[in-house]
Amino acid sequence: MGHQSCIAAPKQKLRKGLWSPEEDEKLYNHIIRYGVGCWSSVPKLAGLQRCGKSCRLRWINYLRPDLKRGSFSQQEEDLIISLHEILGNRWSQIASQLPGRTDNEIKNFWNSSLKKKLRQRGIDPTTHKPIAGDATESQEEKPDISTIISSPVDQQVFPNFEQQYFTASMGFYGVNNNSSRSELCEYGGYGESSSNSTGGSNWNCSSVSGNHEVLNWDSVTHIGNTILEEEHFEPKFAAHSWQEHAEIRGFDGDFDVEFF
């Protein structure tokens, strides 16, 4: 099962290793002109001796025009840490909350820098809990995470959804514990019309376009109570309201949530 990775065609040997500027140019021009389509056909159409997988990676991690370059800001750093506490090593999900950053970039940043920083603060980067024997010091040095994540109780807004979280830097989030994977869903849809749904029991992330963030009301079996209430969102978090959320995000007037 699964697909074979970058096996060279019998006739021509596929290139590996670092990309040359010429290769970058070919790939970039091809995708700008024709779009991605099927990655496995991209190298042939673009005139590259690379496998489709390599092209895809090069585009996603380096050539994409919307990529943000340069070092991570303090806000991004805090966000990665707080998201990692919730999501673990789900780099792509973490990356989806940081516009212009790739999963690879975040993973590298985590492994080369953030892990070390957390250890220096006496925090286990895996569990995000104080390292044994270093509890006192780490408690003192640990940043006030309530400024990053808090746990609002806005049942009247989302009566069927118990897991709603506010993050000062990200906005308002719910947790989708669909099957074995939990994931964050950003709430919003401000300024949009609202409708309701009764059939579901959990949220699913939808696409985010512009400043319009919407949610899918998805039918899954349960809400991620267990994981987050027990492990992540205990009393240390203060409550925030939707109004507060709106104010922090800088919305004027009414805001609404769109269900579909």
- Residues at the interface with DNA (CB under 7 A): 1-3, 5-6, 15-19, 38-40, 50, 52-54, 56-58, 61-62, 71, 89-93, 103-105, 107-109, 111-113, 116
Quick one: 101 or 232, whose CB is closer to DNA? 101
**Closest alpha carbon to 238 in 142, 160, 167, 138:** 167
Of 6 and 239, which CB lies nearer to DNA in the complex structure?
A: 6
Cβ proximity to DNA, 38 vs 198, nearer residue:
38
Provide, rounded to whole angstroms, the least separation between the CB of residue 45 and DNA: 12
Report whether 129 contacts 81 (CB < 8 A). no
- Please name the amino acid found at residue 33: R
Cα separations (Å) of 125 from 82, 92, 219? 11, 18, 33
Give the shortest CB-221-to-DNA separation in angstroms: 14
State the minimum distance, in angstroms, from the CB of residue 155 to DNA. Answer: 30
* Least separation in angstroms between CB 105 and DNA: 6
Shortest CB 113 distance to DNA, Å: 5
3-class state of residue 215 by DSSP: strand
- The sign of the CA dihedral 197, 202, 207, 211 is positive
Report whether 161 contacts 242 (CB < 8 A).
Answer: no
Looking at beta carbons only, is 111 or 194 nearer to DNA? 111
Rounded Cα gap, residues 188 and 35, in angstroms: 30
In terms of CB distance, is 60 or 248 closer to DNA? Answer: 60
